[in-house]
A and B are shown apart, each in its own frame.
Chain A
Amino acid sequence: MLETFLEFEFLRNTFYTGLLIGLIAPLLGTFIVVRRLSLIADGLSHVTLSGIAFGLFLEKKIALLAISPYYAGIGFSIIGAMIIEYLRSIYQSFQEIAIPIILSVGVGLSVIFISLADGFNTDLYAYLFGSVAAVSRHDLYFILGITLFIVAAVFFFYKELFAVSFDEEYAKVAGIHAKYVHLLFILLTALTISASIRIVGVLLVSALMTLPVASSIRVAKSFKQAIFYSIIFGEISVIAGLISGYYFEIPPGGTIVVSLAIILGITLLFKSRKS
């Protein structure tokens, strides 16, 4: 099955891209889940959608090809991440309010740009639910670059990211620049989301960041184990989801999430530790 899948170049690109996001989405997802910020991924993915819609609009109306919808999505995602941080610093006692604000503005802008770009088309469908056919070689290299950057950033700032995630106040007293570490974290999240959208789509990207972690924290004893297992679960689901999605002609977003849900079900049965 895998052999036929790898036979065509565009499928190979999709497959390798899938492996890359199966690594970075659960990696960042572990930090997101333990910080109880699971909804941030949803907020940012909808901002990314508005960027993609903006890119599609430019493509259609102004024929401005310099900014592809995908890059516009990344740009919007990063700006959205910084706005979330800004809102969180303004509403210190209601930090979660930043997420519905950014999510609804993201959806609102998306609706506007989508109708300005003459409504739904197949491109948009691929961005919403993911696609096995959407990845060019150029995209693959770009996502490889993002992956290397994210893995290096987490490697070098692991102890700071861990300390800030576990106990932000303590991290500050210990002399860590919690604000900057947090900004780095949210920028990495924005990059991960925009990289993952190619395969799993806007609507399901947060699932790839949170479901593997929901499974891994059932079985992990340490934080490093939690990261390790969530990556394993993420990769298994991406591989299973891509292959089954291809054979049944279903967008891979759906099949990947169902694979993740099956793994979650197994870990729930396997061990019932309070979490």
Chain B
Amino acid sequence: MNAKNGGIGMDSTAPVLSVNQLDYKYEQQNVLEGVTFSIQKGSFAGLVGPNGSGKTTLIQLILGLLRLQEGNIELFGTPIQKFKNWNKISFVSQKANTFNRGFPATVYEVVAMGLTGNIGYFRFFNRLHKKQIYQAIENVGMSDYVHRNIGDLSGGQQQRVFIARSLVSQPELLILDEPTVGVDTENVERFYKMLARLNKQEGITLLLVSHDIGTITSYVTDLLCLNKTIHYHGNPSEFYQKSDEEISKFYGHSMHAISHDH
């Protein structure tokens, strides 16, 4: 988690993330088969797929929370096994908003948590860190709530706080797993707009995972459809133009997979 290891194998022109021929099995069941794609710097990628399509497994592999079985993953041009610069990547979990709502913590304390790994053991928050924390809170438009209890906020506001927690360490790649679960529909649009602004203005590469193919297609620059394997990767508008048949194949496949599961 420190900058010393930064230089090893780094390549500024390499994709932020590249996944090659990834297979993954739980017991006998294939969850991922031959997943291959890459994400370029500055893009806003949406990864969609029905429930059980392997999205969460794929994210856990990318984050190093699961060990690779077959295939490989490169982060910023470095194979994941050798990757040390985890502070370049930040993650907003699907579970982020299932936290204990009675937890006595303020917005400030939650966002400050995002710097814990960067600061390191036996070191403390300094004035620069405090500035970064306030900046991140401002970036998600939550400045009026700095000292409010996180449990008293609405689902959408909480989710913005968790984004701020991920942004405070100034990552280059932000991965969001179903971030709009528990956010009411009118705030979902606002939430995506905020992400699109962070992507454009702050230049953060985004990988947004969702089971909902609807809303996100109007915000993302790259659309990836996953159901065990990548069925589509490209421009979201082209996805709708040319592929009625492909969409039905995608969803048809998913129905099949679900009926298998039960």
Residues in A lying within 8 Å of B, measured CB to CB: 34, 36, 156-157, 159-160, 162-163, 166-167, 169-176, 216-217, 220-226, 274-275
Decide if B87 is an interface residue (CB 8 Å cutoff). Answer: yes
8 pairs of residues in contact across A and B, judged by CB atoms under 8 Å: A34-B104, A157-B121, A159-B124, A167-B95, A167-B113, A175-B1, A175-B86, A221-B147
The residue that B87 contacts in the complex, of A167, A175, A226, with Cβ under 8 A, is A175
Known: A167-B96, A176-B117. A162 touches B104 (CB 8 A): no
Chain A residues within an 8 Å CB radius of B86: 173, 175
In contact, A222 and B113 (Cβ under 8 angstroms): no
C-alpha gap A217/B150 in the complex (Å): 13
For the complex, count residues of B whose C-beta is within 8 A of A: 37
Residues of A contacting B: mostly: helix
Query: Nearest 7 pairs between A and B by C-beta?
Result: A175-B117, A174-B117, A175-B1, A275-B102, A226-B104, A222-B106, A163-B116
Across the interface, which residues of A come within 8 angstroms of B93, CB to CB? 167, 169-170, 173
Contact B113 A163 (CB under 8 A): yes
A221, B100: Cβ atoms under 8 Å? no
Name which of A173, A220, A224, A226 has the most chain B CB atoms within 10 A of its CB: A173
With A163-B116, A167-B113, A169-B95 already in contact, the answer to whether A217 and B104 are too (CB < 8 A) is yes
Write out the residue numbers on chain B whose beta carbons fall within 8 Å of the beta carbon of A170.
91, 93, 96, 113, 165
Report B238 CB to chain A, min CB distance, Å.
Answer: 33
Is the beta-carbon distance between A167 and B99 smaller than 8 angstroms?
A: yes
Give the chain B neighbours of A274 by CB distance below 8 A.
Answer: 101-102, 151
Kindly state whether residue B33 has any CB partner on chain A within 8 Å.
no
The 8 A CB mask of B131-152 against A (1 = contact, 0 = none) is 0000000000000000111010
Inter-subunit contact A166/B110 (CB<8 Å): yes
A156 touches B122 (CB 8 A): yes
- Contact between A174 and B114 (Cβ–Cβ < 8 Å)? yes
Q: Which residue of B lies closest to A223 (CB)?
A: B105
Chain B hits for A160, CB < 8 A: 116, 121
Given the contacts A159-B113, A162-B109, A221-B106, A173 and B65 also touching, CB distance less than 8 Å? yes
Q: Which residues of A contact B91 (CB under 8 A)?
A: 170, 173
Let me know if A166 and B96 touch, CB within 8 A.
no
Complexed CA–CA distance, A225 and B109 (Å): 11
> CA of A115 to CA of B108 in the docked complex: distance in angstroms?
54
Chain A residues with CB under 8 A of B99: 166-167
Q: A172 contacts which chain B residues (CB < 8 A)?
A: 65
With contact pairs A169-B95, A175-B87 given, residues A34 and B103 touching in the complex (Cβ less than 8 Å): yes
Residue of A34, A159, A226 near B119 (CB, 8 A) is A159
